[in-house]
Amino acid sequence: MKPMERSTAVFGIITPQGQRAAPAASAAVPARHSLVLRMVALVAAFISLTSAALFFGIDHFVTRHFGELHRERAERIRVLVSRSIQEEFLRMEGIAKLVADDADLRHATYYHLYLEGERDHPRLAVERIARAFRLDVLTLRDARGRLIASAPREAPRPLLDAAAAPGPTRVFWSGRNAWIVAGAALMRDESAIAHIHVARSLDALLGAIAEREQTTLRKSATGEPGPGVLRIALPGGASAPAFLDVELPDTAASALSKAKQLLAVILAISGTLLVAALAWAVRWQLAPVEALARAAAAVGRGEFGQKLEARGNNEVANLVRTFNAMSADLAQLRRLEQQLRHQECLSAIGRVAARVAHDINNPLTVISNVARLMRREAGSSAPLAEDLDLIAHHAERCTRTVQQLLAFGRPVRINAVPLDLVAACREIAARWEAGRGHGVRFEPAATGLPVLGDRFQIEQVMDNLLDNAHEACPLCEIVVTAERSHDEACIRILDQGPGFPPEVRERVFEPFFTTRSGGTGLGLASALAIAQAHAGRIEIGGEDRGEVTVWLPLRP
C-alpha cells in the first residue's frame, strides 16, 4: 500500500485517489413525522378531551343541582305566598267579625234603620272603625243591600260593588291591584239587620314578598303560564278562581350560563397557552438534537471539530458531550492525517531538492563571490554599490532557500534574533516594491512590535504572500498592516482579489497544491512551516476579498 493510501485509510472518507467522498445530505424531517408536532398534537387532544369532560361534567351535575335549588325556591315562595294570603284571609275574617260585634256600630245602625234620616251615627262609627283597623274600605249595607255608610266616602265604585256582593272572603282584582274582601252580618235579637264588608289591599303584602324574594307578582293572565312563571291559586269563594303569577327568574341558571361561558373561554385560552408553552418547551428541549443532527451532517461532510453547547445533565446533554468528544477526536485524527501527508510531501520535496542542490549552490557561490569582489572595486559609486549589494543579498537568499529545500522534509530551524517586526516589514515591503514595480502601502497600527525571529525566513514568508497577492490582483495596490493583539503581533496582507473559496482553504497549505498555472504550490506550505517554527500561525480569509494574516508571538 502506498503511503498516501495508508493515510487516507485512517478515516475512510478519502478515496485512494485523494478525492473526498460526498456524504449523504442531511434530509429535513417532514412535518408529519416531526416529534414536536406529534407531541403537541397528542397533548392538544388530551387537553381538549379533558376540557370537554370537565365542561360537560360541570354542565350536567351543576345544572341539575341548580335546577333542584330553583325548584326548592319556587316551592318555598309558593308556600310563603299561599300562607301569607291565607293568614291575611283569616285576619280579615276576624276583623269582619269584630266589626260586626261592635256595639256602637250595631246600635247606630239599629237607630238608623228605625229612626228615618239618622245617618251621622252609622257613618261616624264606620269611619272610626276603619281608622282603628286601618282598613282600606269598610261598607255598611242594610238587609236589602242598600249602602248606609262607607269609609272612605270616595271609595272606588267597583270595590264598593264587589264588597256588596254576597259570599265568603275572597280576592278582588281592580285593575292591577288585588284586594281581600270579607263580610259579616250585624245581628240584633238573632236577626241580621245589616251587613258589613271590610277590604284591604294585598299590594303591601305582595310587594314585601316580591322585594324580599326578588320576584314579580302580578294578576294571572289567561292561558298557560310562561317559562319561569309560577302560578298560585288564591283561596276564596269567588265564582271564578283567582290566580297569582309569580315571575321567578332563574338567577342561578343565568349565573351558571355566564359561568359556563367564562369557563369555556378560560379552558380554551388556557389550553391554547398550555399547548403553546408545551410546543416551546419541547422545541427548546429538542433544539440540541436538531443542532446535533446538523453537526453530525457537517462531520459527515468532513468538517471535523464541531462543538455544541451541552445544557444540563440529562440524556440529551450527555449525548451532546459524547458527540463533542467524538468530533474532537476526529478533528485530532484529521490534523494527524494532514500532518502525516504534509510530512510525506516534505520528504518527497527534500529528496528532490537534494538532487539539484549541488547544481544550484555552485552558480550561487560564483555569483555571490563575484558580487563581493566587484563591491570592493566599486568603492563609493552609489548606484553600482547598491546594485551589487542587492545582488549579494538575493544570492544569499537563494543560498538560504537551497538550504531550506535540503531540510524541507525536516523541522524548520531558525536563527532567532530580536527584531522590530514593524521596521522589518517596512523594509521588506519597500524592497519587494522596488524589485517588482508594484505598489505596496504599509499601514502599521503600532510603533514597534518586538519579536524573536529569523529575518531572512520572515522575509521569505512576506515575499511569498506578497507574490500571491500580486498574482491574485495584478492591477491592485497591496495593503500591509501591522498591529498588536494581546500578546501577539499581527501582520495582515490585503488585496482586492476574489479571496479563497472553501474548497481552496482546505488544501491551500498542501505542498504542490496551486490554483495558478505555472505555480509550484510551495509558497504557502513553506510560509506555514516557517510561521510554525516561530511558534506562530497563518490564517486565510474568506471569499469576499484576499486576506492572509500572519500571527507571531511578541517578545516578553
Over the stretch 11-25, which tens digit does the pLDDT of each residue have?
Answer: 333 333 344 444 444
Q: What pLDDT does residue 174 have?
A: 66
Rounded to the nearest 10 degrees, the angle between the axes of helix 35-100 and helix 203-213 is 160
- Nearest residue to 149 (alpha-carbon basis) of 175, 116, 112, 176: 112
Q: Which amino acid is it at 487?
A: D
Q: For 350, list phi and psi in degrees, rounded to 5.
A: -60, -40
Helix or strand or coil: residue 311?
Answer: coil
How do 488-495 and 478-485 pair as beta strands? antiparallel
Q: What pLDDT does residue 381 have?
A: 65
Q: What pLDDT does residue 23 have?
A: 42
211 CA to centre of own chain: 52
Instruction: Give the integer Cα–Cα distance in Å for 465 and 553.
Output: 19
Contact of 151 with 221, CB cutoff 8 Å: no
Q: Which residues of 168-196 are buried (b: 16+ CB within 10 A; e: fewer)?
A: ebbbbbeeeebbbbbbbebeeeeeebbbb
How do 478-485 and 440-444 pair as beta strands? parallel
Contact of 194 with 138, CB cutoff 8 Å: no
Strand partners, 547: 494
In 110-215, where do the E strands start and end?
A: 137-142, 147-151, 170-174, 177-188, 191-201
Q: Scanning the structure block, which residue is given the C-alpha cell 299561599?
A: 82
Tens digits of pLDDT across the chain (556 residues): 333 333 333 333 333 334 444 444 444 556 555 666 777 777 778 877 887 777 777 777 777 777 777 778 778 887 888 888 888 888 888 888 888 888 888 888 888 877 665 677 888 888 888 888 888 888 888 888 788 888 876 666 666 665 555 566 777 666 667 778 888 888 887 788 888 888 887 777 777 777 777 777 776 666 667 666 777 777 654 445 667 777 776 666 677 777 778 877 887 888 788 878 877 877 777 777 778 778 888 877 777 777 777 777 777 778 888 888 888 888 888 778 876 776 676 667 667 767 667 677 778 888 888 888 887 777 666 677 788 888 888 888 777 777 656 655 566 778 889 999 999 999 988 888 887 777 888 888 878 899 999 988 899 899 888 888 888 888 888 999 999 988 899 999 998 878 888 778 777 877 667 776 655 566 787 888 888 888 898 988 877 778 899 999 998 7
- Nearest residue to 449 (alpha-carbon basis) of 467, 426, 470: 426
Helix or strand or coil: residue 106?
Answer: helix
343 CA to centre of own chain: 55
533 grid coordinates? 517554527
Q: What pLDDT does residue 20 have?
A: 41
Percent of all residues in the chain with a pLDDT value above 90, rounded to a whole number: 5
182 grid coordinates? 270579607
Instruction: Give the integer Cα–Cα distance in Å for 24 and 302.
Output: 11
Q: What pLDDT does residue 147 have?
A: 81
pTM above 0.75, yes or no: no
Q: Domains of the chain by range and CATH?
A: 53-170+181-198 (3.30.450.20), 414-556 (3.30.565.10)
Q: What pLDDT does residue 521 have?
A: 64
298 grid coordinates? 457537517
